[in-house]
């Protein structure tokens, strides 16, 4: 595939910014959308795609992924992960700091940005991780979507769970703070109570709803005290959703993962430790309350928390098994299948997986199919269903928690900066994404 200067996508079912559907054409030039119309003249166009029968969406921006590089490349690296993104219609991602070394300084951030420039097929941004004593780095690091705090579920330097240490971070600066909200003291206490149990299902009881609620309450309290921009990562419980429904300051956002909407504790019986993640899977009741909160705008957007581990690591015995599952290849088809099942609309999926993320993080010119916006696009097939198959997974971990699920909305073509990075099973590994910038950070 050569590098096109202009690309004309013809006869697509285009999801417009107002959520309406229009059958027509989109012209991109030098990485930007230049025209959206019912019939665009193809004179002088370098490359054309006939998108008859396909739906054109803005590319997905996945605001929470763990891509393991540097230091944990046996699980994933920025190249394999970005290939998986391209296949899944994810054209931009925001990555978390729990790599080795941890991303807790400007130099570690610069190293990741350099690695990504060398090997990422899609656009990228990296969080700076909070420790109890890196406040100067948290205030000055650039470019970053924000500060990531592990209030629980993390050992080592990245765990910041004492109120005093948290308050010191909330009190200074104004950039976005994204929290993994689980209460470590409660988790520690329950680990002791349930010590010796090797049944994976106990994971959801050890790191229970109360552990999540306590941490979210504390983060909200500090955010309100300092009117500090707060984002609650992978919200998992009905209790947290109800808390936000009662009291959600205008400067607070929250996200949910497809797995917390679509899987629950019954998954332990079928896929065992492949269902283990933090925060853990919850009950069918939690699934329903989270869906409603998402539809009502209490939860703002979707993230995958793509967190791959090898099958060998997952084959150990609980509690020695690591938490996390891959997500970027399946998130869009999972959500579009839910839309086809009547859980939501396709326009809502676009809002939750592209537009709302761009707005929350101040990522300019992304998340909409509008002239002047970046040509990060995905053409999906909403007419056919196909099973998730282990042998087709591109993530280095080589498995999915959704194997056997029959999904529609699979990406057919993914476009990053006006260039075709994935087309009908083929990747163009020559394409490179760009570093994202964040006007709100």
Catalytic residue, chosen from 25, 62, 77, 305, is 305
- Number of H helices and E strands in the chain, helices first, is 15, 18
For residues 31 and 322, which CB has a smaller minimum distance to ligand DOR in the complex?
A: 322
Q: How far is the CB of 314 from ligand DOR (least distance, A)?
A: 11
* Tokens, residue 234: 């992978």
* Residue 332 CA from chain centroid, whole number: 10
Q: Considering only residues 12, 94, 102, 277, which one is a binding residue for ligand DOR as defined by CB under 6 A?
A: 277
Applying CB under 6 A, the span of 53-61, 317-325, 327-335, 366-374 interacting with ligand DOR comes to 317-325
Sign of dihedral through CA atoms 95, 101, 102, 105? negative
**Main-chain phi, psi angles of 46, to 5 degrees:** -75, -40
For residues 181 and 349, which CB has a smaller minimum distance to ligand DOR in the complex?
A: 181
| Interacting positions 179-218 with ligand DOR (CB under 6 A) | 180
Applying CB under 6 A, the span of 55-63, 159-167, 183-191, 318-326 interacting with ligand DOR comes to 318-326
| Interacting positions 217-246 with ligand DOR (CB under 6 A) | none
For residues 15 and 158, which CB has a smaller minimum distance to ligand DOR in the complex?
A: 158
DSSP for 50-64? Answer: E-TT-EEEEPEEEEE
Is the separation of the CB atoms in 428 and 1 below 8 Å?
yes
Is 305 assigned a catalytic role? yes
Strands (E), 86-206: 90-95, 123-126, 128-129, 147-150, 177-180
* Residue 345 DSSP code: -
Q: Considering only residues 56, 109, 187, 307, which one is a binding residue for ligand DOR as defined by CB under 6 A?
A: 307
**Main-chain phi, psi angles of 257, to 5 degrees:** -95, 155
Q: Which residue is nearest to ligand DOR (CB)?
A: 324
Pairing of strands 406-416, 419-423: antiparallel
Q: Is 314 in the site for ligand DOR (CB under 6 A)?
A: no
Q: How far is the CB of 305 from ligand DOR (least distance, A)?
A: 6
> Which residue carries 């579009």 as its tokens?
336
Rounded distance between C-alpha atoms, residue 87 and residue 106, angstroms: 31
Please classify residue 234 by burial: count the beta carbons closer than 10 Å to its beta carbon, then call 0-12 exposed, 13-18 middle and 19+ buried.
Answer: buried
For residues 150 and 410, which CB has a smaller minimum distance to ligand DOR in the complex?
A: 150
Please classify residue 168 by burial: count the beta carbons closer than 10 Å to its beta carbon, then call 0-12 exposed, 13-18 middle and 19+ buried.
Answer: middle
Q: How far is the CB of 40 from ligand DOR (least distance, A)?
A: 44
Rounded distance between C-alpha atoms, residue 14 and residue 341, angstroms: 20
Q: How far is the CB of 179 from ligand DOR (least distance, A)?
A: 11
Q: How far is the CB of 403 from ligand DOR (least distance, A)?
A: 18
* Tokens, residue 407: 């999904």
Q: Considering only residues 257, 278, 348, 351, which one is a binding residue for ligand DOR as defined by CB under 6 A?
A: 278
Q: Distance between terminal CA atoms of the chain? A: 36
Kind plus residue range of the DSSP H or E element containing 35? strand 32-37
Q: How far is the CB of 269 from ligand DOR (least distance, A)?
A: 19
For residues 145 and 324, which CB has a smaller minimum distance to ligand DOR in the complex?
A: 324
For residues 29 and 207, which CB has a smaller minimum distance to ligand DOR in the complex?
A: 207
Q: Is 66 in the site for ligand DOR (CB under 6 A)?
A: yes
Q: Is 88 in the site for ligand DOR (CB under 6 A)?
A: no
Q: Considering only residues 29, 92, 98, 237, which one is a binding residue for ligand DOR as defined by CB under 6 A?
A: 98
Q: Count other C-beta atoms under 10 Å from residue 394's C-beta.
A: 20
| Interacting positions 319-338 with ligand DOR (CB under 6 A) | 322-324
Helix segments in 35-125, DSSP class H = 78-88, 106-119
Q: How far is the CB of 122 from ligand DOR (least distance, A)?
A: 20
For residues 299 and 421, which CB has a smaller minimum distance to ligand DOR in the complex?
A: 299
Draw the binding track, 19-38, toward ligand DOR (x: CB under 6 A; -: no contact): --------------------
For residues 180 and 260, which CB has a smaller minimum distance to ligand DOR in the complex?
A: 180
Helix, strand and coil in the chain, % to nearest 5: 35, 25, 45
Residues that bind ligand DOR (CB under 6 A): 66, 98, 153, 180, 277-278, 305, 307, 322-324
List active site positions. 305
């Amino acid at each position: 595939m050569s590098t096109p200067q202009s690309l004309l996508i013809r006869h697509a079912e285009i999801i417009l910014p107002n959520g309406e559907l229009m059958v027509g054409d989109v012209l991109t030039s030098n990485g930007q959308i230049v025209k959206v119309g019912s019939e665009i003249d193809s004179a002088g166009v370098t490359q054309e795609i006939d998108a008859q029968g396909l739906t054109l969406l803005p590319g997905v921006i996945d605001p929470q992924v763990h891509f393991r590089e540097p230091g944990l490349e046996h699980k994933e690296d920025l190249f394999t992960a970005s290939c998986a993104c391209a296949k899944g219609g994810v054209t931009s991602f925001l990555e978390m700091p729990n790599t080795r070394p941890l991303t807790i300084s400007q130099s570690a951030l610069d190293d990741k940005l350099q690695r990504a420039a060398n090997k990422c097929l899609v656009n990228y941004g990296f969080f700076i991780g909070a420790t109890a004593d890196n406040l100067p780095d948290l205030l000055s690091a650039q470019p970053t979507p924000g500060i990531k705090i592990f209030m629980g579920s993390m050992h080592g330097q990245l765990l910041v769970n004492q109120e005093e240490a948290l308050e010191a971070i909330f009190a200074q600066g104004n950039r976005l703070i994204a929290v993994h909200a689980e209460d470590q003291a409660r988790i520690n206490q329950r680990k002791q109570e349930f010590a010796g149990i090797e049944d994976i299902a106990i994971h959801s009881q050890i790191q229970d709803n109360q552990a999540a609620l306590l941490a979210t309450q504390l983060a909200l309290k500090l955010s309100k005290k300092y009117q500090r921009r707060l984002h609650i990562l992978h919200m998992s419980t009905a209790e947290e959703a109800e808390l936000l429904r009662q009291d959600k300051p205008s400067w607070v956002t929250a996200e949910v993962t497809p797995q917390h909407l679509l899987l629950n504790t019954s998954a332990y019986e079928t896929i065992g430790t492949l269902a283990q993640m933090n925060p853990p899977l919850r009950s069918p009741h939690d699934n329903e309350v989270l869906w409603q909160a998402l539809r009502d705008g209490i939860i703002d957007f979707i993230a995958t928390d793509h967190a791959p581990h090898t099958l060998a690591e997952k084959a150990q015995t609980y509690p020695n098994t690591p938490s996390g599952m891959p997500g970027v290849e399946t998130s869009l088809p999972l959500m579009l299948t839910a839309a086809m099942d009547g859980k939501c609309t396709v326009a809502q999926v676009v809002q939750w997986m592209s537009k709302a993320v761009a707005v929350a993080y101040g990522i300019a010119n992304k998340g909409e199919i509008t002239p002047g916006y970046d040509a990060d696009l995905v053409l999906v097939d909403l007419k056919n269903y196909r099973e998730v198959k282990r042998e087709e997974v591109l993530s280095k971990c080589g498995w999915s928690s959704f194997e056997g699920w029959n999904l529609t909305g699979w990406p057919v073509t993914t476009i990053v900066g006006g260039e075709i990075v994935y087309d009908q099973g083929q990747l163009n590994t020559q394409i490179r994404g760009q570093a994202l910038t964040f006007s709100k950070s």
